[in-house]
Amino acid sequence: MERFPIPGTFLHIKPNTTGTDPLLRRAFSIFDYDEATGVVDILYKVAGRGTEVLSRVRPGETLDVLGPLGTGFDLPLTIDHLVLIAGGVGIPPVYLLAKSHLRQGFDGKRISYFCGLTMAAEKPMADRVEKLPINLQFATDDGSFGFKGFVSELLRARLDDGSLGTNPVICACGPDGMLKAVQTIARAYGTKCYLSLESIMPCGVGTCLGCVVKKDGEEKYVRVCREGPVFEATEVEL
Under the criterion CB under 8 A, does residue 229 sit at the interface with another protein?
no
Number of residues counted as binding another protein (CB under 8 A) = 29
Under the criterion CB under 8 A, does residue 175 sit at the interface with another protein?
no
H helix intervals, the chain: 49-55, 91-103, 127-131, 151-160, 176-189
Residue with Cβ nearer another protein (111 or 213): 213
* DSSP string of 51-114, one letter each residue: HHHHHTPPTT---EEEEEESB-----TT-SEEEEEEEGGGHHHHHHHHHHHHHTT--GGGEEEE
Residue with Cβ nearer another protein (39 or 200): 200
Under the criterion CB under 8 A, does residue 200 sit at the interface with another protein?
yes
Q: Helix or strand or coil: residue 213?
A: strand
Segment contacting another protein (CB under 8 A): 19-27, 39-47, 85-93, 228-236? 19-27
Candidates 13, 25, 122, 182; binder of another protein (CB under 8 A) is 25
Under the criterion CB under 8 A, does residue 77 sit at the interface with another protein?
no
Per CB under 8 A, which of residues 29..58 are in contact with another protein?
A: 49-50
Residue with Cβ nearer another protein (189 or 221): 221
CB of 37 to another protein, least distance (A): 27
Q: In what order do the strands lie in the sheet with 26-29?
A: 26-29, 10-14, 64-69
Under the criterion CB under 8 A, does residue 222 sit at the interface with another protein?
no
Q: Are strands 135-140 and 147-148 parallel, antiparallel or unpaired?
A: parallel
